[in-house]
Structure formats: C-alpha cells, structure tokens
C-alpha cells in the first residue's frame, strides 16, 4: 500500500514544549509514522532532513516564553 511505503520512509516531527502534548501526539500517530519529538524550533531545525515527512507545531512552540520538557 502506498501509505505504508510512505510512512516507512518519512518521519513525523513534533515540536511541543509541553511533554504531555508530544506524548499524546506520538501515541496518536506513532503506529502509522516514525515520530521524533522536539522541545523547541532549534532542535527541530537541526533534525530536519530528507526523511522528514510532516512537522506538527503546537501553539506553545511558537512562543519563546515557555519551559521545555
């Protein structure tokens, strides 16, 4: 199936400063895609590459005044 082939090659990147958000999104989508959770945009920017398929940003990841996990 095309979706299965795509999901094996591409990684879902989640940027969520609150650990619970990253865990919830990982549980929701982790059976379909390999998941990498990042605590800030700097960490995400280092990890971005050809294997990145989708990036999910929480609202909190866009403001710099929250504490990371």
Provide DSSP, 1-61: -HHHHHHHH-EEEEE-SSHHHHHHHHHHHTTTS-EEEESSHHHHHHH-STTEEEEEE-GGG
Within a domain: 38: yes
Count: domains in the chain: 1
The more confidently predicted of residues 8 and 60 is 60
Within a domain: 41: yes
Which pTM value belongs to this model? Answer: 0.74
Within a domain: 68: no
Per-residue pLDDT tens digits for 18-37: 878 989 999 999 998 899 99
Within a domain: 16: yes
Within a domain: 55: yes
17 — pLDDT class (breaks 50, 70, 90):
confident
Within a domain: 67: no
Residue 46: give the domain boundaries.
2-62
């Amino acid at each position: 199936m095309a979706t299965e082939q795509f999901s094996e090659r591409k990684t879902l990147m989640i940027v969520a400063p609150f650990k619970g958000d990253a865990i919830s999104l990982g549980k929701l989508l982790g059976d379909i895609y390999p998941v990498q959770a990042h605590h800030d945009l700097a960490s995400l920017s280092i990890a971005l590459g050809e294997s990145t398929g989708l990036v999910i940003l929480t609202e909190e990841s866009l403001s710099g005044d929250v504490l990371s996990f």
